[in-house]
Structure 1
């Protein structure tokens, strides 16, 4: 009666565990701990059958390296006999069959020449799920009653592994649903702007996109800020065999450094403070589709090393997990930096640079695209016409000449924002008087004076006509400095509000302001 009571007392906590949400590893360890309390064994192991191999999932009393071993059933007669037996089986000390754990039980000797051994098959449904094995260092440790207890325990153990399998399947289903929801969210987002143009530089870009899009090659999209690198990435995805899958975009510059790894690779519950549940990384969200890493030159060196490993092996680990996951993605990266120069300066890994630039794709700046500026202006004006409710919105001849003469240091993005402001002004002016429903954008609406007629250069002029007064980088920096200072002044030095007004991420604006030597008024006063 006492033995029966002991058995029941040991099984009750295990039964209650079936109703709890526990990690699989913890559930298996509790299962083995209960078995060791019930039966006089020195070592116990739970192994799952994968094809013709038994894989240890949890052990007690065996050396640490046992979990890394794989036991081919055909090479281990005792394990084969356990799988073939209808119930629990005990091996006689003189049975002659080698024990798979010989030398794996820590002790004084390196071999277990004489010991007691039992095992049973765990069955889930109609098939064998795996086996439980028990070893004792002395012969005769196990009794016929112990064999019956093991036979009974096998049913509870099978229920435990079945519950764990169902919970794992449910977790995978939740991840699949989350990934599907992300795909739907991306699909439901507004359609990206179409690429338009007729210039030779634009046609060259389109031909390169058509060439590389059907492949799975990694593409590195380079170009100045505002040229439309993300639009190019979306075209690469739309023209690829992965177009029916998700395209997941990550702005690497907007990620706090301590969260970059979690965002890219995911984490498990408890991996760090605030990790209250498992989370998919962007790699797993993009499984089967395209992952777009914008501003990749901003990644810290430590994350660059982990990214390189994932790209080489196709496998990743979530933070806090030992399990490896495979992510099948097509990678497109973008940067406005000269990564070759960053490599020489030691700020970017050379091996990652070569891995990313399998197919480099340069997006030309707007100043190299000639009259494409008018085609793009037409597309943006039509968008703004719909927003303002006007029947028509057109460009005056002076405005067209002003657009063609401008250097466009902010590229297509500068053109888009400039026309949005101009459309608001024209719409407001039109609402005051003109009943035709057609408004005209003037050079004054664009805040761009019409270009002056070109004057003949003096005979001794050293520079050719139209030569820039300063190098391009200086002009771009000066333009960005003026816009940022104006935004900060309008928003009383508030960096977050200024970033929203400029259409930038706050972290990006802070870095850009620091590079340009701009200090908000509030910080200057504190200093």
Structure 2
């Protein structure tokens, strides 16, 4: 197919009714099909970093990475120049995608070409499009001209995608653009809400629904799922965003200090009270008070908290004056407070005051492929922290991450990859550092069936790679297709049951069936 045909396909897509992710993916696929290259990425500016939105030829975890411009000189050079920036194979600048190309060994990445172009929308920098090739010297003047044309089309693609998102803002069942921007701003500081699973989309819709109300919210979920991040998002998206968000860890409050911490005290109220002191309620006046681990409060502390929630008035310890406060309450607990009420360990009246709008955060094991995106995020963080040029996942690691149950959720994943990165650096040779299965130390915790899956994937990869005929991704896809077909037979074609048996999110399972042409 001639270059003009690929350009025409992109132009035709501009008039099609496509959601932004599909639009971005089709654009990237058209570019990499038209030009000589092994990997292509569409990246959006997010603060001072570039966030991949669509990739072709890169590992799945690359979508979870955030490339800080200060640490990636090639990407920084691309976004600061209006034309096409070409890095020849002899360039000494590190490539951010080294080790992230699918089905390629680290040793094969010593020589390759790279080029990219900044994308501007309405006169403002939006992001960039990049193209990498494993063969040296393939990006000549003709390819650079074609890249420039694709970049201009890319600006039209992202502009149309933005317009469709703006139109979607008028529909009540979608996140509006302003709210999405606020959520992304929260995610800049924290990582826990990275994910594209149905469960995470549902959570974000729920956050949008309740954020601008004054209702008390009870956030519940297992330890390590990111309850404080949800509280931050609720505050950032509320009308109180410019006022304080005050956090108090109820589990760390001794009973004798609970009143002083929550309501403050006056000088001389008790031994050691040398000055007047505001409590958390007064500090949060006009803003949001986040009561973390509220289920740990003692019975007497629960009674004192209930009184303030009922009256809206606080009285400092040692004072006979009351202060009116206007505070929006967000509480969190990893306990089932409804069950605690039935067991008599938590006051029913306080529970109903706190749980006006409940929000459930799904555990990581129910978020499907989100674990791979989060792994990419943590790997990039550890690469930067350890001063490594590159840090990637080795064979079988992706499958191990997806089959492990993660009882400690996102926090456990973060710590696991932090330890693995240190071990990989210790054992690594050369500039490319690879996290291997033994560094993750998860195999002993995985079910026998999962270990068999991982070993089969590794064996298929080892058999296929030396022949040069089948890529690592193709080997994995072939094995995945056979496994899914067997499970579908066992479940008599019940896709929901098959997804549960495989430990996959239903939405991601449906997309996998489409990609593997099993629908």
Question: So what's the TM-score if we normalise by structure 2?
Answer: 0.50
Higher RCO (CA-CA < 8 Å; seq separation 6+): 2
Bigger Rg over Cα: 1
